[in-house]
Amino acid sequence: MNSALIIAKKEYKSYFSGAVAYVVTSLFVFLMSWMFFQILSAFASRSLMMMMQGGRSGMSVNDYVFAPHFGNVNVVLLIMIPALTMRLFAEEKKNRTMDLLMTSPLTATSIVAGKILAGCLVVWTILAFLAFYPLSTSLFAKFDKGPVLTSFLGLGLLSAVYVSIGVFASSLTENVIIAYFVAFVIELFFWVIGWASASMDGPVAQGIFNYLSIVTHFNDFSKGIIDTSSVIYYLSLILFFGFLTERVVESARWR
Amino acid sequence: MIEISKLTKKYGAITAVNNIHFSVKKGEIVGFLGPNGAGKTTTMKIITGFMAPTSGSVTVAGFDVFENPLEVKRRIGYLPETPPVYVDMLVKDYLEYVARLKGLTGQQVTQGVTRAIEKANLGNVQNRLIGNLSKGFRQRVGIAQALVHNPDVLILDEPTVGLDPKQVIEIRGLIKELAGNHTVILSTHILPEVTASCQRIIIINRGEIVAEDTYEGLSKRMSDVRRFFVRVRRPQNFEKQLRTMGGVKSVRTSQDVQTFEVELDKTEDSNEMLAEAVVKTGAGLLEFRSMDISLEDIFLKLTTTDHAEVAI
């Protein structure tokens, strides 16, 4: 496990020693701020209208601001994370530095764990900037803190799933563009897999496809629900793709 | 220290290494010599545990590479063909990272890094980005990387490629210095390299070991043969005469068919015999001299089948 931490630390540092992490973070924050501001001003004008029509504003900040906001974050992560993770194995293979890892006293498991951990830490660092929105909103509006916190937990887990998929895709090739695209498609597939439930007969089949969908589980988190089955679902996806990556890395010996 | 037996590696239908066996004693420097694509790199990758063989076994320091890969890897320093360096890291940070990957901790890391920097002569560039270094320096970083955990066994795949002549001499000196404490296998297709630093030479071609001996032993092997360089004006009759003459081992003609390299059994009158043949056939002698037999010749002889060479 110690060697996984050594690799994670090196990878994490390398994101920040170049421009990558800074560019991604600043553009991500710019984009999220713009989107958040649009949601917030739409909410403000609509609730003002409702108040003028006589009733007191019954619109909840949680439902009309934070839920769509975190939905947006989710979509942007879907596009952004493969770009961050695509280099993790592909670049090592292309630059032949994989030779170093493969001839060092490390297990394939610790190499993969280190890579996934590094990716998660980078994404979580970037996500930390999102705390700015609820904190600044809390200065002038009342809302329920619970769902916001569970949304963050959900985002943390979900981004780890994306990282794990991204690392897996990266292990398959030495071409970063292929790595990006494979990761993106796998992620997107887990988004839309739930659509199949509409065309299924019977509650069991519908339930299975709903359970497999990444989005269904995330909706629970943004409503303030921590469902054990959702947590288990995300963790098992992370482990599943981690396991596949470990197999790919180990199989390099046998080619 | 290293025992290799019945090692075979196939890439699909291509056999890269075919049933080779050899062993290397502790403290020995062994040169692995062969043309490009002979299977040198494949063999080395298998010894380091980077790659699994199709069949056969490799043990390093008593540990089987496939049953105990981690124990073996702890004892091996490996410099691949392309030095495995990260261009976005400082030399010193990189070596520290490698040291930690190899399992060093705390004080050992700094000691290992300092020693490797000193041995590979990287003092002046230790705080520079690897990406900004020249090829020669990167190669030296690669060598430092293999040395950082002071391994018992060093596997160096073409260690002097891309270095300038002065650096080549330095690195050869360094490799010699490592003998005794370390067991070294180095591969190369540059012949002076093995004569300069290796105690034993293994020549490999098309995945098979074609010769294994000391440099002296290999030279001796060729010393029962004398070689002459002959250039004549009218080669036709002379060539026919050579084919029928006794004691001729091989004849190599060049493009212009006027020059011959003739190998004869080493006997008292071999010079005389050849000279006589030239005169008798009225070939019109232009040049006649005896040639030294170098490692190059041994190498070429063992690794090439030249179409111009006529075995008689």
Three-state SS across chain B? Answer: CEEEEEEEEEECCEEEEEEEEEEECCCCEEEEECCCCCCHHHHHHHHCCCCCCCEEEEEECCEECCCCHHHHHHCEEEECCCCCCCCCCEHHHHHHHHHHHCCCCCHHHHHHHHHHHHHCCCHHHCCCEHHHCCHHHHHHHHHHHHHCCCCCEEEEECCCCCCCHHHHHHHHHHHHHHECCEEEEEEECCHHHHHHHCCEEEEEECCEEEEEECHHHHHHHCCCEEEEEEEECCHHHHHHHHHHCCCEEEEEECCCCCEEEEEEECCCCHHHHHHHHHHHCCCCEEEEEEECCCHHHHHHHHHCCCCCEEEC
Alpha carbon distance A208, B49 (integer Å):
43
A97 contacts on B by Cβ (under 8 Å): 84-86
Q: For the ranges A245-254, B56-65, B240-249, which has the lowest average pLDDT?
A: B240-249
- Give me the residue label for tokens 């043990």: B59
**At residue B307, does pLDDT exceed 60?**
no
Verify whether the Cβ–Cβ distance B51 to A253 is below 8 Å.
yes
**Is B97 an interface residue toward A (CB < 8 Å)?**
yes
First to last CA, chain B: 43
The letter for the amino acid at A25 is T
Alpha carbon distance B11, A97 (integer Å):
22
Distance from CA of A2 to the nearest CA of B (A): 9
Verify whether the Cβ–Cβ distance A17 to B88 is below 8 Å.
yes
Q: For the ranges A44-48, A164-168, B205-209, B212-216, which has the lowest average pLDDT?
A: B212-216
Alpha carbon distance A151, A236 (integer Å):
19
With a CB cutoff of 8 Å and minimum separation 6, the contacts of B74 are: A105, B102, B103, B149, B151
Which of A10, A96, A105 comes nearest B73 by C-beta? A105
* Average pLDDT for B49-68: 88
Distance from CA of A3 to the nearest CA of B (A): 6
Verify whether the Cβ–Cβ distance A96 to B76 is below 8 Å.
no
Tokens, residue A97: 């530095």
Verify whether the Cβ–Cβ distance A14 to B89 is below 8 Å.
yes
**At residue A34, does pLDDT exceed 90?**
yes
Per-residue confidence band for B303, with pLDDT thresholds at 50, 70 and 90: low
The letter for the amino acid at B95 is L
**Is A251 an interface residue toward B (CB < 8 Å)?**
no
Q: How many C-beta atoms lie closer than 10 Å to residue A171's C-beta? A: 28
Q: How many C-beta atoms lie closer than 10 Å to residue A190's C-beta? A: 18
pLDDT digits (tens, 9 = 90+) for B220-239: 666 667 778 888 888 877 87
Query: If you average pLDDT over each of B10-14, B45-49, B293-297, which comes out highest?
Result: B45-49
pLDDT digits (tens, 9 = 90+) for B154-190: 999 988 877 788 888 888 888 888 877 889 998 887 7
Distance from CA of A253 to the nearest CA of B (A): 4
* Average pLDDT for B81-106: 92
Per-residue confidence band for B292, with pLDDT thresholds at 50, 70 and 90: low
Q: For residue A37, what pLDDT is reported?
A: 92
- The answer to whether B183 and B151 are in contact (CB under 8 A) is no
pTM for this prediction: 0.83
Q: For residue A55, what pLDDT is reported?
A: 65
* Average pLDDT for B205-214: 82
Q: For the ranges A67-76, A172-181, A216-225, B126-135, which has the lowest average pLDDT?
A: A216-225
Alpha carbon distance A252, A229 (integer Å):
35
**At residue A77, does pLDDT exceed 70?**
yes
Per-residue confidence band for B17, with pLDDT thresholds at 50, 70 and 90: confident
B75 contacts on A by Cβ (under 8 Å): none
User: Which residues 66-105 of A are in CB contact (within 8 Å) with B?
Assistant: 95-105
Verify whether the Cβ–Cβ distance B50 to A101 is below 8 Å.
no
Q: For residue A100, what pLDDT is reported?
A: 93
- Please count the residue pairs, one from chain A and one from chain B, whose beta carbons lie less than 8 angstroms apart: 69
Q: For residue A62, what pLDDT is reported?
A: 83
pLDDT digits (tens, 9 = 90+) for B139-158: 889 999 999 999 999 999 98
Q: What percent of chain A has pLDDT over 70?
A: 98
Q: For the ranges A27-41, A107-121, B280-294, which has the lowest average pLDDT?
A: B280-294
Alpha carbon distance B236, A109 (integer Å):
70
The 3 state secondary structure assigned to chain A is: CHHHHHHHHHHHHHHHHCCHHHHHHHHHHHHHHHHHHHHHHHHHHHHHHHHHCCCCCCCCHHHHHHHHHHHHHHHHHHHHHHHHHCHHHHHHHHCCCHHHHHCCCCCHHHHHHHHHHHHHHHHHHHHHHHHHHHHHHCCCCCCCHHHHHHHHHHHHHHHHHHHHHHHHHHHHCCCHHHHHHHHHHHHHHHHHHHHHHHHCCCHHHHHHHHHHCHHHHHHHHHCCCCCHHHHHHHHHHHHHHHHHHHHHHHHHHHC
Verify whether the Cβ–Cβ distance B82 to A96 is below 8 Å.
yes
pLDDT digits (tens, 9 = 90+) for A125-157: 999 999 999 998 888 888 888 889 999 999 999
Verify whether the Cβ–Cβ distance B84 to A99 is below 8 Å.
yes
Verify whether the Cβ–Cβ distance B145 to A100 is below 8 Å.
yes
Q: For residue B205, what pLDDT is reported?
A: 82
* Average pLDDT for A204-220: 84
Which of A98, A105, A255 comes nearest B70 by C-beta? A105
Q: For residue B310, what pLDDT is reported?
A: 39
Distance from CA of A226 to the nearest CA of B (A): 38
B84 contacts on A by Cβ (under 8 Å): 95-100
Distance from CA of B150 to the nearest CA of A (A): 13
Verify whether the Cβ–Cβ distance B70 to A14 is below 8 Å.
no
**At residue A81, does pLDDT exceed 80?**
yes
Tokens, residue B28: 């020995």
A107 contacts on B by Cβ (under 8 Å): 70
